[in-house]
Amino acid sequence: MAGWVDDAGFLAGLEPQWREELRACKPVLVPVRTTLFRPGDHAQSFVVLLSGKIGVYLTGRNGRELLLYSVTPGETCVQTTLGVLGGAPYSGEALAETDLVAVLVPPALFERLMAGSAGFRHFVFKAFAARLGDLMFVLEQVAFVKVEQRLAHALLERAGPDGLVSMTHHDLAVVIGTAREVISRRLEAMQSKGLIANERGAIRILDRPALSRMAAQD
């Protein structure tokens, strides 16, 4: 009598007896654009995302925002985990980018899983490792890499097969951690070089190879 389906396969590494117990946890539905956590919030449960996408952002006092990482199905939101365990407050802001389905693991079960399941421990640690890696990457980009390169990278990463990137300049500015005007000017420069075409609310990539070169520049 499974409570939910593990499409993302995060139960795979778990011992059978624990698998059953986890399946008994009720999944939760969250509508798009819900703010899941704000800075200073204190999480009560360990969360595993089953479907949808969560964006975690950092906001500066000047109002500028920066995307720290995204949580995708089969992953957990580390900061929540830290809240459950260490009592550290939440410093980022989590936003439901789509409708979500998630499993909430209550602290008591979480403790028992950590104590009893090597598979679960590895899952949790891999999640930590991945997030720490994400943060290091963002930090390196923000601290050392030029806007033009980051922008080229971001565009390529988010382009559909037709080369369309459905994001506003403001969206891109948040992903990269800069100001909207800077993005506008960079995109205009790229357009005048024939690399992309600007449309309202979207950018179309015309010359992938050239953009890749720009992104990889040493």
**Residue ranges that bind its own copies, judged by CB under 8 A:** 58, 60-62, 64, 66, 68, 78-79, 82, 85-86, 88, 91-92, 111, 114-115, 118, 121-122, 125-126, 128-133, 135-140, 142-145, 177, 218
Can you tell me the distance from the alpha carbon of 2 to that of 60, in angstroms, rounded to the nearest whole number? 43
In degrees, rounded to 5, the angle at the alpha carbon of residue 133 between the alpha carbons of residues 178 and 150 is 30
- Residue 197 interacts with DNA (CB under 7 A)? no
Cβ proximity to DNA: between 59 and 198 the closer is 198
- Tell me whether residue 126 or residue 213 sits nearer to its own copies (CB atom): 126
Does 188 help bind DNA (rule: CB under 7 A)? yes
CB of 117 to its own copies, least distance (A): 9
Which one of DNA, its own copies, none interacts with residue 66, CB within 5 to 8 A by kind? its own copies
Under the criterion CB under 7 A, does residue 182 sit at the interface with DNA? yes
CA 111 – CA 180 distance, rounded (Å): 44
**Residue 91 near which of its own copies, DNA, none (CB within 5-8 Å, type-dependent):** its own copies
CB of 218 to DNA, least distance (A): 11
- Output 51 or 80, the one with its CB closest to its own copies: 80
Residue 193 contacts DNA per CB under 7 A: no
Judged by CB under 7 A, the residue of 130, 156, 179, 197 near DNA is 179
Q: Which stretch, 5-13, 16-24, 157-165, 168-176, contacts DNA (CB under 7 A)?
A: 168-176
Instruction: List b or e across 58-86, with b for residues whose CB sees 16 or more CB atoms inside 10 angstroms.
Output: beeeeeebbbbbebebbbbbbbbbbbbee
Query: Judged by CB under 7 A, does residue 204 bind DNA?
Result: no
- Site residues for DNA per CB under 7 A: 62, 64, 146-148, 168-170, 177-182, 184-188, 198, 200-202
